[in-house]
Amino acid sequence: MFSQTNQVYPVIWHNDSVSLIDQTRLPSEYAFVEISRSEDMAVAIKTMIVRGAPAIGVAAAYGMYLGAREIHTNNRDEFLHHLENVADMLRCTRPTAVNLFWAISRMIKVAYETLGSVGDIKKALFQTAQTINAEDLQTCQAIGDNGLKVLPTRLEQLTLLTHCNAGALATAGYGTALGVVRSAWREGRLTRVFADETRPRLQGAKLTTWECVQEGIPVTLITDSMAAHCMKQGMIDAVIVGADRIAANGDTANKIGTYSLALVSKAHHIPFFVAAPLSTVDFSLSDGSQIPIEERDPTEIYQVGETILTPAGVEFYNPAFDVTPAELITAIITENGAFAPGELKQLQLKQMV
């Protein structure tokens, strides 16, 4: 699934099914999971075989088509009723990533608006899923180039810090935050990437470093608690992260630990950027307090492999995301350009005109 430039494509339609890179096995094993049923796609999203808001959206779109393919009726109303059930199943997998809901809503809209037979609807759903896939790849490349325009100009060579994985593995390819990194590397403006390990799932340690190694981008792994020290030592020029949901005022939900990273960036006068497609902005939410935060299995905290890390009797709290207030964000980088968080509402008004 690599091109000649080692580009990663984590969600691909191949041989009448969806081929997913199994991200739970990286970096030790580069393996694929073939998905041909909607229920299996729901499991793949829930268990983080596929992860990252844009990639989840693409996977969900294909999941909707797989579900449509499983519905055996020529009655339009019956078909749409069953399709709504498929949508409900997929919506329950990851509550924070808004691209999931965006993609499902787009597929449902196409189903209702497509005239003709049930077969015509299924064909339209497949074409829409492929379009969402292709659009996301183009969007990420635009985000990368737009991010390059707003990176600090006082230095010709930059060292960037990122959190979690917002790379090709989290999208249809190229990445959002790592898309900016890739564009900076391509243009000769990047010296090195520092990657937070990103506890408890270690997406930075396992996935971000893996992507950088594939492309020869210099990368240094640090623990989450080392970021402030590295900033104080003058080792970081800018921070760039992805997003799973952005409220209308710019408050941003991203992997747990992002909020604290934004706080220490502010304390050290280091710009803090969020890179995400416009589909990640949920204009129905006025601020970040309305963003649902997924809580995951506590085994992610207390167990590594077969090893239990804690004594019996300990209680656990494992939110997968936190919300970074808009005032800590320098700019939100999208496919349409970079915007101050407060400019998002104006952007929404322009889209409605």
- Which pLDDT does position 3 carry in this prediction? 36
**Which ranges in the chain are annotated with CATH 3.40.50.10470?**
152-352
Q: How confident is residue 2, by pLDDT bands cut at 50, 70 and 90?
A: very low
Q: Which residue has the higher pLDDT, 334 or 6?
A: 334
* Six token digits for residue 270: 């280091």
CATH superfamily membership of 152-352: Translation initiation factor eif-2b; domain 2 (3.40.50.10470)
3-state secondary structure of 19: strand
**Which ranges in the chain are annotated with CATH 1.20.120.420?**
11-139
pLDDT tens-digit readout, 238-262: 999 999 999 999 999 999 999 999 9
Q: How confident is residue 6, by pLDDT bands cut at 50, 70 and 90?
A: low
Is the distance from CB of 193 to CB of 162 less than 8 angstroms?
yes
Q: Which fold has domain 11-139?
A: Four Helix Bundle (Hemerythrin (Met), subunit A) (1.20.120)
Phi, psi of 140 (to 5 degrees): -65, -40
Please list, in sequence order, all residues whose beta carbon lies within 8 angstroms of the beta carbon of residue 21, skipping any fewer than 6 positions away.
1, 8, 10, 30, 31, 32, 50, 169
pLDDT tens-digit readout, 144-187: 999 999 999 888 899 999 999 999 999 999 999 999 999 999 99
DSSP 8-state symbol, 244: S
3-state secondary structure of 107: helix
Work out the number of other CB atoms within 10 angstroms of the CB of residue 62: 27
The bridge status of strand 321-324 relative to strand 252-255 is antiparallel
Going by C-alpha positions, the residue among 197, 186, 148, 210 that lies closest to residue 10 is 210
3-state secondary structure of 276: coil
- Which pLDDT does position 350 carry in this prediction? 64
- Which pLDDT does position 154 carry in this prediction? 82
Residue 142 pairs with which residues in a beta bridge?
Answer: none
In sign, the C-alpha dihedral spanning 150, 154, 160, 161 is negative
Rounded CA separation 337/333 (Å): 6
Check pLDDT > 70 for residue 110: yes
- Which pLDDT does position 1 carry in this prediction? 32
- Which pLDDT does position 346 carry in this prediction? 80
Q: How confident is residue 4, by pLDDT bands cut at 50, 70 and 90?
A: very low
Residue 267 pairs with which residues in a beta bridge?
Answer: none
Is the distance from CB of 244 to CB of 97 less than 8 angstroms?
yes
Is the distance from CB of 126 to CB of 79 less than 8 angstroms?
no
- Which pLDDT does position 352 carry in this prediction? 55
Rounded CA separation 184/248 (Å): 28
Phi, psi of 186 (to 5 degrees): -60, -35
Please list, in sequence order, all residues whose beta carbon lies within 8 angstroms of the beta carbon of residue 160, skipping any fewer than 6 positions away.
151, 180, 181, 184, 190, 192, 193, 194, 236, 237, 238, 239, 240
Is the distance from CB of 54 to CB of 176 less than 8 angstroms?
yes
Please list, in sequence order, all residues whose beta carbon lies within 8 angstroms of the beta carbon of residue 49, skipping any fewer than 6 positions away.
20, 22, 23, 24, 33, 43
pLDDT tens-digit readout, 59-80: 999 999 999 999 999 999 999 9
* Active centre residues (catalytic): 244
Rounded CA separation 39/43 (Å): 6
pTM: 0.93
Rounded CA separation 213/51 (Å): 20
Work out the number of other CB atoms within 10 angstroms of the CB of residue 258: 27
**131-137 mean pLDDT:** 97
